Structure 1
Amino acid sequence: MAPPQHKPLSNFNSPPDFFLAALSLLYLFTSPKPFKFPFLSFPKYPRRVRKIPIMSFSHSQSNLHSFATPQSLSDWLKPRLPSDSFASWGVKPGTKNIHNLWLELSEGETCLADSSPPIRTVNVVTVRILGKNNQILVESRQELSDGSVRKRWRPLAEKMKANETHEEAVVRAVKEELGFDGNTVRIVPGSYNKKVEEGSSNSYPGLPARYVVHSVDALVEGLPDDDGEFCTEEAEEYADFSAAAEALCVKRHYWRWVSSDFIPS
């Protein structure tokens, strides 16, 4: 009688891989001593992340608060500002009102920090327009929509919008305030300068201001070159907002050529 034949062990089916993986996981989670991964380390008390208030120092940052209406902005500001200062907005000659500030926030021209009083941060482009005989162009005064007049005696200046470069702001300022298109503007190479100024706001009494000033020298073709004063009318601002009807806006700019060593007061 022939001996029984045995199948070689290599022909036996081995347990499937997923079965072995399940046994490994069961051991990990049921073992009395939890298995530690040498390459992972978690602190017992996670470090707290300290939140830093947004001060809107960068022009690309968004406002700390979003206000749906000028009234909501007014309600937020009143307890944070001296009452007599806030009451003078839009009443005292040369000042602006709450609708103006709301429009500036909506257009990304101004940022407010959450402090008492809040700090208003504005990026401003200043353009020293060069003329003949070593002269520069200054704005002597502005006529507002309520008939009041603000003295200026400074070069062309314009608030920058969010994410706007200083070159773009220069072209827009010349177009809106002088009525010339960008093809007539040439920024003098190497004239760009940036500085920060802090102080009180003339437009909004009682509201501290932080101005990030981007200044350049520029040449603008086609401007009157005599020594007299000339006037330009500004294009309508904030036309897409109904609040613009309640805001005080600049209607006319008055310009004059002065010596380049002139320092605005």
Structure 2
Amino acid sequence: MSPEPKPISTTTHHHHHKPKTLPDLFLTTALSLLCLFTSSDKSSNSLKVPSLYLPSNPRRFLKIPTMSLTKDNNHNFAATPQSLSDWLRPRLPSDSFASWGVKPGTKNIHNLWLELSEGETSLADSTPPVRSVNVVTVRIFRNDKILIESLQELSDGNVRDRCRPLSEKMKPDETPEEAVFRAVKEELGSIVSGDVVRIVPGSYLKKVEERDSKSYPGLPARYVLHSVDALVDGLPEEEFCTEEVEEYLDSKVEVDKAVCVRKHHWKWVSPDSIKS
């Protein structure tokens, strides 16, 4: 008996090839181009094939989109001064809130709305809300004296005592150094220029204070204070006053309703006389 024929295999053999990576494809293309040029006639041998740079990790060259934060991250309650007022009223002592802009030396709801709209201030959604502010303080020295702002003349005709060094609320994403030059320009710019400011190296200090706001009675505040020592050329040796550079130019209507500083009064005193 003849042996039975072997059955024909119906198994399909799959050849698994390792997928080519992006650098492999570049290399294959480069080699193909090289072969193309070398297989041409002799005249083509004079052609120079440009060298190709094949990155080992092509993903390094992909641009990753980033998201930037803007100053307009306010809550819906601050859409307008009126909506801000409606939101604050049940969260603050009624007598304190009613004194805003009425009691001498205080600011009003339009001031707070401007601070929020410019990103200078944030409010915690709590009862009572907490106002958080970053402030730069510039301790300007001359010999053994320090310059302080003795008082401010306000747009409502009132005068507010200060007795503290030059200080200014910081803008969003502003560094302390940038805030120093802007503060000098805004409050002393009517008599000096910003290029005469020299910050003393190593003088930067940072601390946090929590207290009720004098500008907004009844509203707790958290101040992050950034302090530097500085020298400013061209300042008078005696007491003097400066005019405030107008802020919030994009919100002229609300500025007209806010309580603004018209003049700053300055004098030189002993550093020991300043309240800590």
So what's the TM-score if we normalise by structure 1?
0.76
- Among candidates 130, 149, 172, match of residue 139 of structure 1: 149
Q: Could you say which residue in structure 2 is the equivalent of 1:95?
A: 106
Q: 1:16 to 1:197 in 2, by over 3 A?
A: same
Q: What residue ranges of structure 1 are gaps of 5+ in the alignment?
A: 18-59
Maintained 8 Å contact 1:171/1:181: no
2:140 counterpart residue number: 129
Is 1:192 the equivalent of 2:204? yes
- Displacement of 1:124 in angstroms is 0.7
Residues 161-204 of structure 1 show CA distances to partners (whole Å, capped at 9, x for unaligned) of: 11111111101000000004432111101111111111111100
Partner of 2:68: none
From 11, 14, 18, the counterpart of 2:12: 14
Q: Is the 8 A contact 1:103 1:243 kept in 2?
A: yes
The verdict on how the C-alpha distance between 1:62 and 1:147 changes in structure 2, with shifts beyond 3 A counting, is same
- Asked whether the equivalents of residues 64 and 111 of structure 1 are also in contact (C-alpha less than 8 Å), the reply is no
Q: What amino acid maps onto 2:180 in structure 1?
A: V
Q: Deviations over 1:58-87 (max 9, x none)?
A: xx9955555210001000000000111111
Which of residues 171, 184, 187 is equivalent to 2:181?
Answer: 171
| Cα distance in structure 2, aligned partners of 1:245 and 1:103 | 11
8 Å contact 1:64–1:113 — kept in the other structure?
no
Q: TM-score, normalised by structure 2?
A: 0.73
Q: Counterpart in 1 of 2:247?
A: 237
Superposed CA deviations along residues 26-45 of structure 1, whole A, max 9, x for unmatched, are: xxxxxxxxxxxxxxxxxxxx
Query: 1:205, CA displacement in angstroms?
Result: 0.5
State the distance in 2 between where 1:175 and 1:186 align.
Answer: 13
Q: What secondary structure sits across from 1:235 in the alignment?
A: coil
Equivalent position of 1:223 in the other structure: 235
Cα displacement (A) at 1:100: 0.2
Deviations 1:119-161, CA, capped at 9 Å, x for gaps: 11111111100113x0010001000111111011110000111
Residue type at the aligned position of 1:141: L
Measure the CA separation in 1 of the matches of 2:78 and 2:268.
Answer: 41
Is 1:154–2:164 an aligned residue pair? yes
- Unpaired runs of 5+ residues, structure 2, are 16-70
Distance in 2, matches of 1:61 and 1:99, equals 17
Q: Please give the secondary structure, in 2, of the residue aligned with 1:186.
A: strand
Residue number among 252, 257, 260 corresponding to 2:268 in the alignment: 257
Dislocated runs of 4+, deviation >3 Å = 2-8, 60-66
Number of residue pairs matched by the alignment: 217
Q: How far apart are the structure 1 equivalents of 2:265 and 2:126?
A: 37
Q: Distance in 2 between matches of 1:106 and 1:66?
A: 12
Which AA in structure 2 matches 1:103? L
